[in-house]
């Protein structure tokens, strides 16, 4: 009789470590908005579901700390206009069919949330909203007396009540395949108990974040292991050249770069000048986030520091509106009060220092509108899937919700078909064993380099403003050379002590791969698209050569292989010739 790997000789099982084996129709990796909605939908479709998170699903990551604002297409709104504005804001480099699907499903998901007991702000019976920064009229709706943390907490409870099994504090470090090269599970390790886990499933959904380098603004836990596990298994990665840049307070993680200027605050350089007037004479301090970051970076490189935001001239009623909106962050009012009480400053009354900051990459697993990837059995949701490049306020929650719901349904259907047609697929023993051996390799390194040491060196290479914010060929090449030196000289010398050290080592390996991938792709794209990508040596958009996507996948030699893909404008409603400047309203005014 064959065992769970399909091997007839039971004695071979002794070659494996002791596994804690869990089997389900659908396996979900990641417990944010994408993963939680996937669990709800797959369960509703009749699938058995296991959701794994390296922390505590629904209580960690960006979803838990998000503002809670979400883009919603209300029945009276025009979906074509919404799609047009998002396409323009992404400089045409976005899947318009995906954007349309996000909006067309957004009202139904809003009603789902209300049926779960989460209410949204209304006035005289109508939803109140703010305009999403970087758009003309796309609506953001806000929870009433609740936060994103409340939302993901409720989603977790509902998923459990509908039969989903949650496995918290287990780090998935690799996907595993069957003997026909389809994805059929994953391997992981218990963060607290160091147990070895093998998950078998008819479908696998990767629903992690996109990744970072333990940098600024809640990015300390974002290393992008999800997309890169998929890449190592053979999936394609799209948009590797793009990243999320922002402007952040120097001292503490306080919010307000978007909403404060909409309420009268203004950006000031070290000489006391309101510098945004020079970079965007029309929109000035209400310009899109990327333009503000670029301007602040240029001022900093000129020595015009510190960069501060002038809040002293704000009206008292605007300060009160800010306090009301920031309640949606949950942790924001607590931190603001702590800074006032213990550090002696208040973001609404004192001009504090801010700086341009790299937050995370914007790459993701390449998937279709059913969230199906190029690998049989593998689906992508949340920020692990490409969802667009421009970080519009409210877009991430809306898109992660759509992708989770969609991936959950698609994965459930695939698992059902697998069970009906073939009775399920067996895990390839060699694939699981090789992943286990590679993951544990740093334990066998004697004198080597600590993961934290290598990450600090990587941050020193990537985080200066003139590397991945204001880009030039010379700086990108210099950074790539340094990353390749780390890869060839120190990566194999990573050492680890214990389970947490092993997890750090794997995350560090992923970060080195991510850095190489994004630097090479950024060198390829020789143009500027002002809302999403800035090459100082190629300051204009080049639609004739670069109105296309960059795709990265693992080559036969193990190195990164790049290709480009034409954007299917023949099937899209909006074409590049309609390009026009999007007028920005930075979420300041309530509208019905």
In order, the DSSP letters of 274-293 are: -THHHH-TTTGGGS-HHHHH
Which pLDDT band holds residue 86 (cuts at 50, 70, 90)?
A: very high
Distance set, CA 259 to CA 255, 313, 403, 587, 588 (Å): 9, 15, 27, 6, 6
**Bigger pLDDT: 531 vs 466:** 466
Mean model confidence pLDDT for the chain? 89
pLDDT of 145 strictly over 80: yes
User: For residue 31, how many C-alpha atoms fall within 13 Å in the half-sphere facing its CB?
Assistant: 31
Q: How far is Cα 514 from Cα 491, in angstroms, rounded to an integer? A: 13
pLDDT score recorded for residue 590: 29
Facing residues of 553 across strands? 561
pLDDT of 552 strictly over 80: yes
- pTM of the predicted structure, to 2 decimals: 0.91
**Bigger pLDDT: 528 vs 331:** 528
Mean pLDDT is highest, among 92-106, 127-141, 250-264, for 92-106
Distance set, CA 306 to CA 18, 26, 186, 347 (Å): 56, 51, 47, 16
pLDDT score recorded for residue 12: 35
List, in order, residues 6 or more apart from 587 with CB less than 8 Å away.
Answer: 69, 130, 131, 132, 133, 140, 258, 259, 262, 393
Q: What mean pLDDT comes out for the span 2-18?
A: 42
Residue among 584, 589, 587 at smallest CA distance from 283: 584
pLDDT of 583 strictly over 80: no
Facing residues of 380 across strands? 206
Task: Summarize pLDDT for 432-453 with one digit per residue, the tens.
Answer: 888 999 999 999 998 899 999 9
Q: How far is Cα 495 from Cα 480, in angstroms, rounded to an integer? A: 23
Contact by Cβ (8 Å): 384, 371: no
Q: What mean pLDDT comes out for the span 506-517?
A: 95
Backbone angles phi, psi at 130, to 5 degrees: -120, 155
Task: Summarize pLDDT for 27-67 with one digit per residue, the tens.
Answer: 999 999 999 999 999 999 999 999 999 999 988 878 887 77
Mean pLDDT is highest, among 103-107, 176-180, 292-296, 344-348, for 103-107
For residue 489, how far is the Cα from the chain centroid? Answer: 30
Task: Summarize pLDDT for 385-400 with one digit per residue, the tens.
Answer: 999 998 888 999 999 9
List, in order, residues 6 or more apart from 71 with CB less than 8 Å away.
Answer: 82, 102, 103, 106, 132, 138, 139, 140, 392, 394, 395, 397, 398
pLDDT of 584 strictly over 70: no
Which pLDDT band holds residue 17 (cuts at 50, 70, 90)?
A: low
Task: Summarize pLDDT for 335-366 with one digit per residue, the tens.
Answer: 888 888 999 988 888 898 999 888 888 999 99
Contact by Cβ (8 Å): 100, 361: no
Token pair for 476: 């990108």
pLDDT score recorded for residue 122: 93
Task: Summarize pLDDT for 168-225 with one digit per residue, the tens.
Answer: 999 999 999 998 889 999 999 999 999 999 999 999 999 998 888 987 655 566 666 8
Mean pLDDT is highest, among 5-9, 179-183, 507-511, for 507-511
């Amino acid at each position: 009789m064959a065992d769970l790997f399909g091997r007839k000789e039971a004695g071979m099982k002794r070659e494996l470590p002791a596994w804690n084996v869990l089997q389900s129709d659908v396996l979900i990796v990641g417990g944010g908005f994408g993963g939680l909605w996937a669990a709800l939908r797959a369960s509703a479709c009749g699938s058995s579901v296991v959701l794994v998170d390296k922390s505590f699903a629904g209580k960690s990551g960006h979803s838990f700390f998000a503002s809670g604002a979400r883009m919603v297409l209300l029945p009276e709104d025009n979906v074509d206009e919404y799609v047009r504005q998002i396409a323009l804001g992404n400089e045409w480099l976005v899947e318009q069919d995906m954007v349309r699907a996000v909006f067309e499903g957004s009202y139904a998901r809003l009603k789902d949330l209300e049926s779960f007991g989460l209410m949204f702000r209304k006035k005289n019976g109508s939803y109140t909203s703010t305009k999403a920064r970087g758009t003309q009229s796309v609506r953001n709706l806000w929870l009433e007396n609740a936060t994103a943390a409340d939302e993901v907490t409720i989603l977790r409870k509902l998923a459990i009540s509908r039969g989903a099994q949650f496995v918290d504090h287990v780090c998935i470090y690799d996907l595993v395949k069957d003997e026909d090269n389809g994805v059929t599970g994953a391997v992981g390790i218990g963060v607290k108990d160091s147990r070895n886990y093998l998950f078998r499933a008819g479908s696998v959904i990767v629903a992690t974040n996109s990744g970072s380098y333990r940098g600024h603004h809640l990015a300390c836990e974002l290393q992008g292991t999800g997309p890169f596990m998929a890449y190592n298994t053979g999936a394609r990665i799209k948009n590797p050249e793009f990243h999320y840049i922002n402007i952040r307070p120097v001292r503490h993680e306080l919010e307000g770069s978007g909403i404060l200027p909409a309420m009268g605050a203004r950006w000031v350089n070290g000489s006391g000048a309101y510098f945004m007037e020079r970079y965007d004479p029309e929109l000035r301090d209400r310009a899109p986030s990327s333009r503000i970051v670029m301007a602040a970076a240029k001022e900093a490189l000129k020595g015009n520091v510190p960069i501060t935001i002038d809040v002293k001239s704000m009206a008292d009623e605007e300060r009160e509106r800010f306090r009301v909106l920031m309640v949606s962050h949950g942790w924001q009012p607590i931190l603001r009060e702590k800074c006032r009480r213990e550090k002696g400053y208040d973001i609404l009354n004192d001009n504090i220092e801010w700086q341009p900051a790299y937050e995370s990459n914007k790459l993701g697993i390449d998937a279709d509108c059913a969230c199906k990837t190029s690998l049989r059995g593998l689906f992508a949701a949340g920020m692990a899937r490409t969802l667009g490049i421009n970080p519009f306020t409210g877009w991430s929650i809306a898109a992660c919700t759509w992708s989770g719901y969609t991936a959950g349904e698609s994965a459930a259907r695939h698992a059902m078909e697998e069970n009906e047609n073939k009775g399920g697929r067996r895990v390839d023993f060699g694939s699981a064993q090789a992943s286990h051996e590679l993951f544990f390799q740093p334990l066998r390194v004697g004198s080597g380099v600590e993961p934290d040491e290598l990450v600090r060196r990587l941050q020193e290479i990537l985080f200066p403003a003139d590397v991945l914010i204001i880009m030039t060929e010379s700086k990108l090449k210099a950074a790539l050379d340094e990353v390749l030196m780390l890869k060839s000289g120190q990566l194999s010398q990573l050492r680890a002590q214990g389970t947490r050290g092993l997890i750090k080592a794997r995350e560090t390996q992923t970060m080195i791969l991510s850095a190489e991938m994004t630097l090479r792709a950024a060198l390829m794209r020789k143009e500027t698209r002002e809302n999403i990508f800035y090459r100082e040596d190629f300051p204009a958009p080049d639609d004739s050569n670069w109105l296309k996507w960059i795709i990265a996948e693992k080559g036969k030699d193990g190195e990164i292989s790049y290709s480009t893909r034409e954007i299917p404008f023949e099937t899209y409603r909006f074409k590049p010739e309609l390009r026009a400047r999007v007028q920005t309203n930075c979420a300041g005014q309530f509208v019905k």
